[in-house]
Each structure stands twice: as structure tokens, then as C-alpha cells.
Structure 1
Amino acid sequence: MRFVRVVLCLLTGAALVTAAPAHAAPDRRQAALDAAVAAGIPGMTAVAPDWRGSAGRQVLDRRGTPDPSGQFRVGSVSKTFTATVVLQLVAEHRLGLEDVVQQRLPGLLPYPEPITVRQLLQHTAGVPRDLPLEHSWATAEELDTERFVHFDDERAVRLSTTQPLLFAPGTGWAYSNTGYNILGLLVEHVTGKPLARVLYERIARPLGLHSTFLPGDFPFVPRPAAHGYEQAYPAPHPLTDVTTYNYSRYLGAGQLISSGPDLNHFLSALLGGRLLPPALLDAMKTTVPGVDTTTGLDEGFDYGLGLMRVDLTPLCGKPTVVWGHGGDVPGFNTLSFKEQSGPLQVTTLATLDLTANTEQAGLRQVPMVSEFCAFTPRPKATGAPERLFRLTL
């Protein structure tokens, strides 16, 4: 569930990006989707309030483009849903942001250092990012061979926390799926209900999100926007279809299935104050720099309580800040972002994630950026894809 950082510096000496009047060029968002597919992304979709587009194949060996209204695995965009439910419980005085997790879930964590709910939400708790490699994907091939492994929710946390803390809680920042799995267990403990039920009752049903659910051990995407792929085996072996998968390892961190229209509706409702009281929405949007304390890597966003803040000003040439989240699981890369008060919003899907090369990883972000910045990829005469961004993975 990586979110690839866009380095806000375009390559020099190349045909980069250019503003273009609407009558002189195709829709810039469609042009960006087409460029990503030309670079080797199997399929892409984008859903904005005024437009829906797709490019590539829904299934590689069949005719047909991806369905912008279809379902897909949204990866870490799940964290915004989990965080919203946690903050709703805070609003009801059933949880506190400064509550110590070890006191609310006694015996779960092996660490004597007190860890708070706020720290887990903001990735400042220092808990390990993921399962140890011996219990997760150590090679690309294991993306294929370990797709049906079941993880009990509590066991996934216990295995992850056999690893030491990355830093003392509250003294650094490091993105952690483990932290959001702990939050999922906390929601279940407080409500006495499975997280899937809580998300349905508190978010999906009230907002009418008919494509959004937490699948647990259910391995299928019922109405797929497109199949997801990875280069699980070295070329010339073809891409491996990884659509059917058990993601029980990611309870509150990245298990959700949803759709572009549903994610847009959810994010609009959240930022519009329909899901949280103003004080807690403000707390959700109080950010720290997304700079990994253990590596020094700047991820390219600031992080609140389950929300990413991305400053696109250097690309757009005007003050432009968007809120949302990115998501990564094998075969599916998601970006879902919105202006705080303006009308611009988009959710994009790319169907190649963990094994994407640098060019592909850059180009799959351009459709999202192009919703907020008025530029269009300039096609080369040869039809070869451009490299628009230099990325750090």
C-alpha cells in the first residue's frame, strides 16, 4: 500500500506538458489515461463530477475497456473510512484521541510504551508498517502463490508486532498498515460489531454507497471495473491476473472494495461536514509532514488523521491543495482527491501497482493531477509514451 511520491520537478529537455485550449486537443484527463496505458498500464479509469473516462483493457485477453463505474480494491483509501468511524466514536464520547490503546485492548500489544489513538491515526505511533517478510510477500512470485492465505484479524496484528517499534511513540512518523489494523480491532471492541458491519451502518448505508463493502475472506470483486495485474514472474512471462485475492490481512488498513463514484461521494460528504462535527474534521485535517523518520524519505504529502494533504501548487502554477488518500494493493493503484471547497474532484484507478516501473508509476498519477492542473500530455510523433515526472519509489 505504497503511495508513490510525485517529485514536483518535471524532466528538462523533453516534451513535457502543455496547456491546451479545449478545441485544440482531446480532454486532458483522457489524454493522461491514454498516455499511462501506452506506457504499459493494462487499464485505467477516472471519475470526476463532470466526466468519466477509461483506457486500456478491462481484461487483458478480451475486448472491452474498463468500466469507470465498476468496483475495485481501493487499498489504503480504506484508512480514511476507518479513521472516520474512529472519529465518530470520539464524537460520541465512546473513545478519546488520547486514550492509550494498551488500556483499551489489554494484552494485544507487546510494547510497554503507551500508544494513543491519535498516534495510530496519524502514523506517529512507531508500530511496524506490515507483517514480517516471513509471513508476507518476500518476492514478486508470492503475489501469485500466496493469494489465498487467511489471516485472523488479531493474529495479523500479533505477528506484525513481533517486530520492535520503529521509534518511541510520538517522536516520529512512519506509515503503518499495522496501526490501522489495530484501529479496526479497537472499533470492533468498542462497538461490539464486526468492522464490516460498522462501516456499512455508519457510512455505506447512510450515503447510499452500494458498491462499497469490506470483503473479509471473500476473494472476488463482484462487478470489477477492471482486472488487476502484476509482473509476478520475469518477462517474457505475461502479467499475472491478481484480481481474485484474500486480503484478510488488512482489516482496517486496506481491505475495502468500492468504486470511483462511491469514493467521490464519500470524500465529498466527509469534507463537506456530513460525517463528522467541525471540531473533529478540523482535527482530521491537522497534519504533520509525511517524512519517514526511519529513512528520511519525503513521501510528498502531509498526513492528518486518515487524510493526506497534497500541495499541487508547483505543478498547477496557482495555489492548489487537495485532500484524500492513495491506495495500493497488488493489481490496483487508487488515487482519490478533492479540493476542500471547490468543485474539482477525481478518483483514478490503475491496474498495475507493485511491479510498475518508474515511468508507469509516474504516468498513472497524471490523470489525477490533470483534474486540478490545466495541462495535457503532449503526444510524441512516434506514439511513444512520455516521462512526465521523476519519481522516488
Structure 2
Amino acid sequence: MRLVRVVLCLLTGTALVTGAPAQAAPDRRQASLDAAAAADIPGMTAVAPDWRGSAGRQVLDRPGKPDPSGQFRVGSVSKTFTATLVLQLVAEHKLGLDDVIQDRLPGLLPYPEPITVHQLLQHTAGVPRDLPLEYTWATNEELATERFVHFDGRRAVQLSTTQPLLFAPGTGWSYSNTGYNILGLLVEHMTGKPLARVLDERIARPLGLRDTLLPGDFPFVPRPAAHGYEQAYPAPHPLTDVTTYNYSRYLGAGQLISSGPDLNHFFDALLGGRLLPPALLDAMKTTVPGVDTPTGLDEGFDYGLGLMRVDLTPLCGKPTVVWGHGGDVPGFNTLSFKEQTGPLQVTTLATLDLTANAEQAGLRQVPMVNEFCAFTPRPNTAKTTERLFRLAL
């Protein structure tokens, strides 16, 4: 998936609700989904521990709302799963955070500069973000036409690293899918098993995540919450259904399929200390500012080891920090976050991603923020006001 910078917008005329009675919460939450659907986002779902909602269509040309319990492509939320697997191997003394990748995976990387496991986990290694454009999407039309291309994990890394380092390892920060593909190969090398099997054995089965899998070359979503869409061809062409896709190019970076309930359960277990020992969970939550070194762009979050920290205090009017990750692949935009302290948690899905306009990009963020800040949008708002945070997914 390409890096997509999404601007969280404060809607003009939007009301901040404080002290609202508990019984009003379902209406408030549903209103945020309805506002997104009114802005022509095909479908949205939101899953919190005490509530599930949806708006729009599951499939555009058929009646029926999205299924909040269904599966979808979670994009870069995959990175938190990959990071957890790596840190489990560290906990078992099979790997060290300061281990040099060139020593662990000899011959994979062309760079003479040593790159560590920790640097890859935190996006401070300087490795290129993605495949060169000649091997991936360069136009919106290619989102539709290049959907069944197989990439061997090692080959995807080798193609990506024909590009130079963005900066000397350890001297900057830049979000990298390539880095997490390398980590996926590292897990496979250290365990002697495919990444999909390792994830199933170490995370999915122990937590009972029945909707969570790495599909590899399998292009279908088995039980879709909703179909994903992009404006692959200029209007008046309709949106293109991009649900069926081969994401083998994103071994450890973004090929995971899951569901809202499964993602909530995973982040609750992870942040609750059930998947990692305390010292490594603390390391995972030790962050650096998400400021892109090559461009100077502040993405608006801090980044740990496969984990985003977002400070919602300016929106909420009270100290509010959430942990989790976001994800983008064609047709699917995911946000999954949990309070640092407290029970609030939510996973949202919007079924328009890379070709969303500015208003849609803002409105699809509101259901997530709304869970923590009682943020109520008005449907059909004509204008949006930029600011608060950007998510690099």
C-alpha cells in the first residue's frame, strides 16, 4: 500500500458534546457513520466493546448495510501483528532488538550500512517506503488492473531496495512498508515457518481470532463486512469494486484480513500485557515523533515499535491518549485504537480509501474520534476545516 496521508478534519458547525447522557451515545455514534455515508463513502462500520454500527451499503448495487462483524482488509494494522511476533521472539531470546539484519538475513539487503531490528520496527532504518513505481501502482487505473500480481516476499524486498536509503539508519524517521516486509521474512527465517502459520499459532488461535488470517495469494475476503471501492476511472465512470485482490506484495506490512471484533480483542490483549512481557510492551510503547525526515511532514502521531500513539487532547478537551494503528489498502481504510487508560476502544472501517476526497477523508475519521471525544458531525456538512492530526498508514 502506498503511504496515504489522511487529514483529520474538524467539521464546520460540528458540535462537541460534553457530559452527554450515556443513553444518547448510540445515536451519537450512529450519526457519525451516517454523516460519512451521506458524503458518498460507500460503507462504514464501527465496533466498540459495547456497540456495533454501520451505514451505507455492503455492496453498492444491492440493498443491505455493511456487517459490523464481517471481515475486511486491515492494511497497515498488520504491522502491529508483525511487530508482536518479532517481540515474542525477542522475549524468547531467539532474537535481539539490536541484531543487525544483514547478519540475520545475509544477502537480502544491498546496503553496507548496518540496519537493526529495532530500527525496522520503528521506521528509523531509512529503507524505502515501497516498491518502485514501475512495479506497483502509478495511476488510479492500475488500482483496478494490477490486482492479481504475485510477489514473493524476498523478491518484493529486493525490488524495493534497488532504491537508495532515505537517510543513514538511525538518523531519521520515515514510514516504510519495505521495513515490515523485511521483518516478516525475519520471522519466517527465525521460526522456519511461513508467516501466516506463525501468526495463527502465536496470536490468532491463542486469542480465538477466528476472522484473522494472512491470505497470501488467496485474493478473496471470505466473509466480507462490505466491498471496497475506488474511483479507478474518472467520473462519470462508477466506483470500481477492488475487494478481490492479491496482496502478497505486503508480506509483513499490510496483507492481513481481520474483523472489528477481532482487532479490538487483539489490541485489548496486547495493551493489557497478555502477548508480551512488561519490559517489551514498554519498549513497544516508547515512541519517537512521526515526522518524515525526507519531507519534514509531521504526521501527527508518535510511533513506537509497530504501534501508533495519538494524542486526542486538543479535540477532547481533556487528556486523552490512544494507542493502536491505522491501515490503508485500495478500498479499505481502517482505524483501530484503544485508550491508554480506561475501557474505551473502537475499530472503524470505511470502504473508500486512496481516492477519497478531502471531505470524505475527514468524515471517515470522525467515528473513531467520536468514540473517545463525543464528537458529533452534522450530515451533509458543506465545508471541512483542516487540522489536528494526519495518519500515515
Report TM bin, short chain: over 0.9
Is residue 377 of structure 2 the alignment partner of residue 377 of structure 1? yes
Match of 1:16 in 2: 14
The change in CA–CA distance for 1:177 and 1:24 in structure 2 (over 3 A counts) is closer
Letter of the aligned partner of 1:387 in structure 2? T
* 1:274-295 deviation digits (Å, cap 9, x = unpaired): 0000000000000000000001
Q: Find the residue that maps to 1:368 and give its secondary structure.
A: helix
* Superposition deviation, residue 19 in structure 1: 1.4
Letter of the aligned partner of 1:37 in structure 2? A
* Superposition deviation, residue 377 in structure 1: 1.3
Q: Measure the CA separation in 1 of the matches of 2:50 and 2:386.
A: 26
Q: How many residues are paired up?
A: 387
* Superposition deviation, residue 17 in structure 1: 2.4
Match of 1:120 in 2: 120
* Superposition deviation, residue 386 in structure 1: 5.3
The change in CA–CA distance for 1:334 and 1:268 in structure 2 (over 3 A counts) is same
Match of 1:292 in 2: 292
Q: Measure the CA separation in 1 of the matches of 2:151 and 2:375.
A: 44
* 1:143-182 deviation digits (Å, cap 9, x = unpaired): 0000000001100000000000000000000000000000
* 1:285-332 deviation digits (Å, cap 9, x = unpaired): 000000000011111110000000000000000000000000000000
- Select between 318-327 and 334-343 the one with higher mean Cα deviation: 334-343
Contact 2:140-2:233 within 8 A present in 1 as well: yes
The change in CA–CA distance for 1:388 and 1:49 in structure 2 (over 3 A counts) is farther
* Superposition deviation, residue 6 in structure 1: 4.3
Q: Find the residue that maps to 1:141 and give its secondary structure.
A: helix
Q: Measure the CA separation in 1 of the matches of 2:104 and 2:252.
A: 17
Q: Measure the CA separation in 1 of the matches of 2:98 and 2:47.
A: 37
* 1:181-233 deviation digits (Å, cap 9, x = unpaired): 00000000000000000000000000000000000000000000000000000
Contact 2:109-2:158 within 8 A present in 1 as well: yes
Is residue 324 of structure 2 the alignment partner of residue 324 of structure 1? yes
* 1:224-244 deviation digits (Å, cap 9, x = unpaired): 000000000000000000000
Match of 1:282 in 2: 282
Contact 1:18-1:378 within 8 A present in 2 as well: no
Aligned pairs (5 A) from 1:1-393 = 1=1, 2=3, 4-6=5-7, 10=10, 14-19=12-17, 21-22=20-21, 27-379=27-379, 383-384=380-381, 387=384, 389-390=386-387
Q: Measure the CA separation in 1 of the matches of 2:14 and 2:219.
A: 40
* 1:308-360 deviation digits (Å, cap 9, x = unpaired): 00000000000000000000000000000001231000000000000001110
Q: Return the TM-score normalized by structure 2.
A: 0.95
Contact 1:331-1:353 within 8 A present in 2 as well: yes
Q: Measure the CA separation in 1 of the matches of 2:236 and 2:335.
A: 29
Contact 1:4-1:361 within 8 A present in 2 as well: no
* Superposition deviation, residue 24 in structure 1: 7.0
* Superposition deviation, residue 29 in structure 1: 1.5
Question: Structure 1: any 5+ residue segments left out of the alignment?
Answer: none
Q: Measure the CA separation in 1 of the matches of 2:317 and 2:294.
A: 32
* Superposition deviation, residue 48 in structure 1: 0.1
Letter of the aligned partner of 1:19 in structure 2? V
Contact 1:173-1:291 within 8 A present in 2 as well: yes
Letter of the aligned partner of 1:172 in structure 2? G
The change in CA–CA distance for 1:149 and 1:371 in structure 2 (over 3 A counts) is same
4+ residue runs over 4 A deviation: 22-26, 383-386, 388-393
Contact 1:36-1:385 within 8 A present in 2 as well: no
Q: Find the residue that maps to 1:249 and give its secondary structure.
A: helix
* Superposition deviation, residue 387 in structure 1: 2.5
Q: Measure the CA separation in 1 of the matches of 2:206 and 2:27.
A: 34
Q: Measure the CA separation in 2 of the matches of 1:98 and 1:116.
A: 5
Contact 1:3-1:299 within 8 A present in 2 as well: no
Q: Measure the CA separation in 1 of the matches of 2:383 and 2:265.
A: 32
Q: Find the residue that maps to 2:107 and give its secondary structure.
A: coil
Letter of the aligned partner of 2:35 in structure 1? A
The change in CA–CA distance for 1:25 and 1:253 in structure 2 (over 3 A counts) is closer
Q: Percent identical across equivalent pairs? A: 86
Q: Measure the CA separation in 2 of the matches of 1:388 and 1:18.
A: 15
* Superposition deviation, residue 15 in structure 1: 1.1
Q: Measure the CA separation in 1 of the matches of 2:371 and 2:10.
A: 18
Letter of the aligned partner of 1:187 in structure 2? V
The change in CA–CA distance for 1:46 and 1:389 in structure 2 (over 3 A counts) is farther
Contact 1:39-1:385 within 8 A present in 2 as well: no
* Superposition deviation, residue 389 in structure 1: 4.2
Q: Measure the CA separation in 2 of the matches of 1:24 and 1:153.
A: 48
* Superposition deviation, residue 94 in structure 1: 0.3
Q: Measure the CA separation in 1 of the matches of 2:24 and 2:129.
A: 47
Contact 1:311-1:322 within 8 A present in 2 as well: yes
Q: Return the TM-score normalized by structure 1.
A: 0.95
Contact 1:330-1:354 within 8 A present in 2 as well: yes
Question: Structure 2: any 5+ residue segments left out of the alignment?
Answer: none
Q: Find the residue that maps to 1:234 and give its secondary structure.
A: coil
